[in-house]
Every structure is written in C-alpha cells, then in structure tokens.
Amino acid sequence: MGYMEIIIGGIFVNNILLAQFLGNCPFLGTSKKMETAVGMAMAVVFVLVLAGVITWVLYTFFLVPYKLVYMRTIAFILVIASLVQFVEMFLKKSIPALYAGLGIFLPLITTNCAVFGACILNVDKDLNFMKTLVQSVAYAVGFGLALILFAGVRERIILARVPKPLQDTSIGLVTAGILSLTFYAFKGMI
C-alpha cells in the first residue's frame, strides 16, 4: 500500500467521520459555527497525529512482545488521556499562542472516539512507523474536512424554513447522512 493510497484513503474513502462514523459527538456538537469547527479540526489534527504515533510505539514495542495485545483498549485510553494533559501543559509553556488558539477544544479531545479509533485502525493494519504517521495525518485531515464542510452547511440551514419537528439536531443528522452518502462516491477509488 503506497503513501498516496493511504492519504487518499484516509481523507476521502475511509473518512473517519463520514465512512467509519467515529467521533460523532464533536461532529454534531461543534459544527454549529464555522469558528468552533475550525478550532476543533485543528485540535484534532494535533492530538490525533501525536496519539497515533505514541500508541503505535506502545503497541509495537510493549504490547506485542509481552503478549498483552488484549490490553490495548485500556492502555491506549490511559496513554491518550495522559498525552492530552501533557500536550496541554507543554503548549501552555512553550507555544502559548497555539494554546490560546486551541482553547477549550484541546481537553475536549480526551473523550473523542475518533482519536482512539484511528489508533486502533493504525495498529490493526500492521503499518510501519512512517505509514502510521501518514495515516494519522490523513485521518485527522479527513476529520477536519468533514467537520468544516458540515459546519458550512449547518450555518446555512439556520436560514431555511425547517419544519418544527426537524429543527436543530434532527436536520443536522439528516444532513450528516446525505454528506455521508456523497462520500460514498469515493468508495471505488481504491
């Protein structure tokens, strides 16, 4: 599997939000405004790439040799949570500007299943380190793309005459479904 395939596959074909349906809570929760959607997308890119790499190291050098693969769920969660905390502290000290830009989205990602899901997918496919890195970036970019597209649509839905029972989250889910169907068109590419 070449890098190009991984990139196209991660962003479009196997889009983590619209094809694999992971991370739906931030998808619906932070997509009402473009501004929050962009903030969330940036934070996800940052954390997902780091988490993907670290969990790969943990999996390859500790879990597999010691035959503890069945422990990966709890181990990954612990590592991701610690990682987010660590990153928060690191950014606050070293890159205050980025810390201020990501704001409250950074701690919110601790509970984002897209991050965890991407880590699991990475190790399931037995990728090497570089491919893991590329795939993590691709997934994160795919997440950001879907979220920003969706926020753009939702900002316009506010202006439309939506029947009362369908307002807000309901029409949001319908829209997400249609968006997901459009991404289905990428299926044949790889």
Partner 1 sequence: MLSLSAVLFMLALGAVCGTVLSVASKIFYVYEDPRIAIVEGYTASANCGGCGYAGCSAAAVAVVAGEAPPSVCIVAGPEATANIAGVMGLDPGTAESLLSYNTCTGGDRAADKFLYMGINSCQALATLHGGQRVCPVGCLGFGDCVKACAFDAIKIGAHGYPVVNEMKCVGCGACEKVCPKDIMEIKTMSQKLLHLNQYDDRIAPCQQTCPAEIDIPKYIYQTKIGDYEGAVNTIRERNPLLLSCGRVCPHPCEDKCRRGVEDEPVSINQLKRFVADHEMNTGKRLPISVAPPTGKKLAVIGGGPAGLSCAYFLRRLGHDVTIFDAMPKLGGMIRYGIPEYRLPKEVLAWETDGILNLGIEHKPNVALGRDFDIGSLIASGYDAVFLGIGAWKDYTLGVEGENLNGCYTGINFLTNFAVWQQERPHDKRPFIGKKCVVIGGGNTAIDCVRTLVRLGADEVTIVYRRTRKEMPANEVEIVAAEHEGINFTFLAAPTRVLGDEEGGVTGLEYLKMELGEPDASGRRRPVPIEGSETVIDIDMLITAIGQGPDVFFKDESKRLDEDLKLTRWNTIDSEDEIALQSSIPYIFSGGDAATGADLVVSAIGAGRRAARSIHFYLADEDITPPSKTLFGNNIPVSIFESVSGITQLPRTEMPELPVDERIKSFVEADLVITEDEALYESSRCLECCLICYNKDVA
Footprint on this chain of partner 1 (rule: CB under 8 A): 58, 62, 66-68, 70-71, 74-75, 78-79, 82, 85-86, 89-90, 92-94, 100, 103-104, 158-161
Residue 117 tokens, joined: 């899901």
Residue 112 tokens, joined: 């984002």
Compare residues 75 and 149 and give the one whose CB is closer to partner 1: 75
Q: How far is the CB of 97 from partner 1 (least distance, A)?
A: 13
3-state helix, strand, coil in the chain (%, to 5): 80, 0, 20
Q: How far is the CB of 80 from partner 1 (least distance, A)?
A: 10
Compare residues 7 and 42 and give the one whose CB is closer to partner 1: 42
Q: How many CB atoms lie within 10 A of CB 39?
A: 19
Compare residues 22 and 123 and give the one whose CB is closer to partner 1: 123
Q: How far is the CB of 62 from partner 1 (least distance, A)?
A: 7
Dmax (CA) of the chain: 59
Compare residues 66 and 128 and give the one whose CB is closer to partner 1: 66
Q: How far is the CB of 179 from partner 1 (least distance, A)?
A: 21
Compare residues 91 and 141 and give the one whose CB is closer to partner 1: 91
Residue 126 tokens, joined: 């037995």
Q: How far is the CB of 100 from partner 1 (least distance, A)?
A: 8
Residue 140 tokens, joined: 């994160």
Helix pair angle (113-124, 34-58), 10° resolution: 40
Query: Which SS3 state, helix, strand or coil, does residue 182 take?
Result: helix
